[in-house]
Chains A and B, each alone.
Chain A
């Protein structure tokens, strides 16, 4: 039994060190900690096992996860309303180019890579999502034809940097005739 635990400890440690994805590494660390805790019980040390289970396994893992969740992912919500709504705004009927959103997404992604963020883009076509999900996202891109509205919170410093970045590289977009408005809430 003990030998098996020791072997799994070594395997878990190697996997933890070798994993590329940080969140997975943290989860593996938690698992390693849990196996350690079981091993300590087998070594007749229940006090240490309890401490390891509560502090090493739970608390440290949560601290790691909180940090990673706050600082690795840049959430982007891309909203393009359904066609019938667009048709009410008659000025964009002539072509279907509103589907062409590649440039701005690429811009946002480039920004993320330059800052070592993980872009996490979610597409939606429900208008009301704008209001209900606004607290979850760092930035919301709202498209109407060739017009883009970008919403972000003033307190989020990444959004402010993104605004500067887009201002710098706006010429690529304007070539296609797109226009961008940036709003800080």
Chain B
């Protein structure tokens, strides 16, 4: 008797939700069609000006073989400046939302160890690390760059967690390294922004910047992942 009542209520609720979703879907469908119609009438005003400039001038201006790197490290380095800041603020926020833990070596994770996986990954680590560093160093010549390389290096950190969740990590030093790297990024990018025409070593500059950004991104993403993996439930409860 009771169960039938409950199931009836659940069914009624489902029907209501389904109706709402159909209404929303038809509304959105209508908007999409209007949007596509307006998109067909979109104008164009000699819109390839900037594109053709970059196409012609990027090697001459920046000594970079990769046009994308030329843009984000030279023409629009001000964006990159903020992008690195974004990652740092994100890390600050996550550190704030998940309060810091006093000890990281939880015995509860210790038994979870996959030996086969570990053996396979031990073989793979050097390859991944070399690949990441290659992406960073050759970012100004071939596809890749600081962001991608840093993320690949952070993947190493994550796979270590998958293999051996009980390992002890020293994140505090990573945090300080991140701040230090950001200060260096700020100084270097300011150098370019304020005195671009006086810089002689532009190709060296690209490599240094890529290197700094790569390690900054590595630190940031690793810390984010670390805090997610070892969320301290006590700290969430305490406030």
Contact = CB atoms under 8 A, between A and B. Distances in A.
Interface string A50-73: 110011001100110011001000
A58 B155 contact: yes
A132 B108 CA distance: 11
A158 to B, nearest CB: 9
A48 to B, nearest CB: 8
Nearest to A52: B148
Range for the number of chain B residues in contact with chain A: 20 to 34
A63 B224 contact: yes
Range for the number of chain A residues in contact with chain B: 20 to 34
Q: Is the interface of A mostly helix, strand, loop or mixed?
A: helix
Contacts of B155: 54, 58-59
A135 interface: yes
B29 to A, nearest CB: 12
A171 to B, nearest CB: 18
B229 interface: yes
A67 B228 contact: yes
Contact of A47 (B107, B111, B143, B229): B143
B231 A70 contact: yes
A23 to B, nearest CB: 16
Interface in B179-204: none
Contacts of A59: 151, 154-155, 158, 221, 225
Interface of A: 46-47, 50-51, 54-55, 58-59, 62-63, 66-67, 70, 132, 135-136, 153, 155-157
Given A50-B144, A51-B148, 17 more contacts: A47-B66, A47-B69, A47-B143, A47-B144, A54-B152, A55-B221, A58-B151, A59-B154, A59-B155, A59-B158, A63-B224, A66-B225, A135-B109, A153-B108, A155-B233, A157-B233, A157-B234
